[in-house]
Amino acid sequence: MSACCALTLALTFYACQKKNQSATCSTCHPLADSMMVVSARREASEVGLQIMLDGGNAFDAAIAVHFALAVVYPQAGNIGGGGFMIAHTQYGENICLDFRETAPMAAHEKMYLHPDGTVQQRASLLGGLACGVPGSVHGMFELHRKYGSKSWYELLQPAIHWAENGFVLTSLDVEEINAVRHELDSINGMNVFTSRRWKEGDTLRQPDLARTLILIAHNPSCFYKGAIADTLIAAVNNSGGILQKDDLLAYRSVWRKPIEISFLNYRIITMPPPGSGGLALAQILSWLEMTHVQNYKHHSASYIQLIAELEKRAYADRSMFLGDPDFIQIPLSELLSKEYLSNRLEMFPVHQVTPSTSILPGEISFHEHEQTTHFSIVDAFGNAVSLTTTINSAYGSRLIVNGAGFIMNNEMDDFSVKPGEKNQFGLLGGKANRIQANKRMLSSMTPVVVLKDNNPVMVIGSPGGATIITTVLQNLLNVLVFNMGMQQSVNQPRFHHQWMPDVLFLEPAWEEWAVLVDSLRRMGYTIQFRSPIGRVSAIVKTPGGKWEGGADTRGDNVACGR
Ligand code: DON
The answer for 453, left when phi > 0, alpha when psi is -120 to 50, beta otherwise, is left
Q: Residue 347: its pLDDT value, please?
A: 86
Protein residue whose Cα sits closest to atom 1 of ligand 1: 443
- Percentage helix, strand, coil, to 5, in the chain? 40, 15, 45
- Asked if residue 78 has its Cβ within 6 Å of ligand 1, the reply is no
Both 215 and 265 in one domain: the answer is no
Q: Could you list the mean pLDDT of each consecutive 10-residue stretch along the chain, which spans 562 residues?
A: 42 44 58 98 98 98 98 98 98 98 98 96 96 98 98 98 98 96 97 96 98 98 96 98 98 98 98 98 98 98 98 95 96 96 90 89 60 96 98 97 98 93 86 96 98 98 97 98 98 97 96 97 96 97 98 98 96
Domain count, the chain: 2
Nearest to 275 by CA among 86, 92, 122, 459: 86
Rounded distance, CA 337 to CA 203, Å?
53
Is 431 part of a structural domain of the chain? no
**CA distances for 215 relative to 110, 152, 153, angstroms:** 37, 12, 10
Q: What angle do the packed helices 207-218 and 227-238 form, to 10 degrees?
A: 140
From the number of C-beta atoms within 10 Å of its C-beta (0-12, 13-18, 19+), residue 466 rates as buried
Taking the centre of ligand 1 as the mean of its atom positions, its distance from the CA of residue 372, in whole angstroms, is 5
Q: Which atom of ligand 1 is nearest to the CA of 100?
A: 1
- Asked if residue 549 has its Cβ within 6 Å of ligand 1, the reply is no
- Asked if residue 276 has its Cβ within 6 Å of ligand 1, the reply is no
What is the pTM assigned to this prediction? Answer: 0.95
Q: Which of 27, 372, 388, 446 is catalytic?
A: 372
Both 164 and 287 in one domain: the answer is no
Is 461 part of a structural domain of the chain? yes
Taking the centre of ligand 1 as the mean of its atom positions, its distance from the CA of residue 533, in whole angstroms, is 12
Both 239 and 316 in one domain: the answer is no
Both 352 and 399 in one domain: the answer is no
Q: Residue 263: its pLDDT value, please?
A: 98
Q: Residue 304: its pLDDT value, please?
A: 98
Q: Residue 370: its pLDDT value, please?
A: 61
**CA distances for 93 relative to 87, 96, 141, 310, angstroms:** 8, 10, 20, 31
Both 278 and 301 in one domain: the answer is yes
Protein residue whose Cα sits closest to atom 2 of ligand 1: 443
Q: Would you give the end-to-end CA distance of the chain in angstroms?
A: 23
Taking the centre of ligand 1 as the mean of its atom positions, its distance from the CA of residue 543, in whole angstroms, is 33
Both 23 and 150 in one domain: the answer is yes
Residue range(s) defining the domain that contains residue 237: 3-114+123-253+388-409
Query: Do 504 and 308 meet the contact criterion of CB atoms below 8 Å apart?
Result: yes
Rounded distance, CA 244 to CA 104, Å?
8
Q: Residue 251: its pLDDT value, please?
A: 98
Is 515 part of a structural domain of the chain? yes
Both 405 and 464 in one domain: the answer is no
Is 248 part of a structural domain of the chain? yes
**CA distances for 156 relative to 46, 102, 146, 167, 316, angstroms:** 14, 25, 17, 16, 42
- Asked if residue 101 has its Cβ within 6 Å of ligand 1, the reply is no
Both 17 and 36 in one domain: the answer is yes
Both 221 and 361 in one domain: the answer is no
Is 145 part of a structural domain of the chain? yes
- Asked if residue 372 has its Cβ within 6 Å of ligand 1, the reply is yes
Both 136 and 221 in one domain: the answer is yes
Both 33 and 182 in one domain: the answer is yes
Q: Which atom of ligand 1 is nearest to the CA of 534?
A: 12
Substitution candidate for ligand 1 out of 319, 392, 442 with most atoms within 8 A of CB: 392
- Asked if residue 463 has its Cβ within 6 Å of ligand 1, the reply is yes
- Asked if residue 464 has its Cβ within 6 Å of ligand 1, the reply is yes
Is 437 part of a structural domain of the chain? no
Rounded distance, CA 276 to CA 272, Å?
7
Both 226 and 292 in one domain: the answer is no
CATH number of the domain residue 456 falls in: 3.60.20.40
Is 424 part of a structural domain of the chain? no
Q: Which atom of ligand 1 is nearest to the CA of 373?
A: 12
Protein residue whose Cα sits closest to atom 8 of ligand 1: 465
Is 77 part of a structural domain of the chain? yes
Residue 542 is among the residues annotated as catalytic for this protein: no
**CA distances for 95 relative to 90, 312, 336, 381, angstroms:** 11, 29, 20, 16
Rounded distance, CA 293 to CA 263, Å?
11
Which of 380, 409, 438 is the last residue before a domain boundary? 409
Q: Which string of DSSP letters, residue by residue, matches 453-515? A: TTEEEEEE----TTHHHHHHHHHHHHHHTT---HHHHHHS--EE--SSS--EEE-GGGGG-HH
Taking the centre of ligand 1 as the mean of its atom positions, its distance from the CA of residue 467, in whole angstroms, is 9
Taking the centre of ligand 1 as the mean of its atom positions, its distance from the CA of residue 47, in whole angstroms, is 24
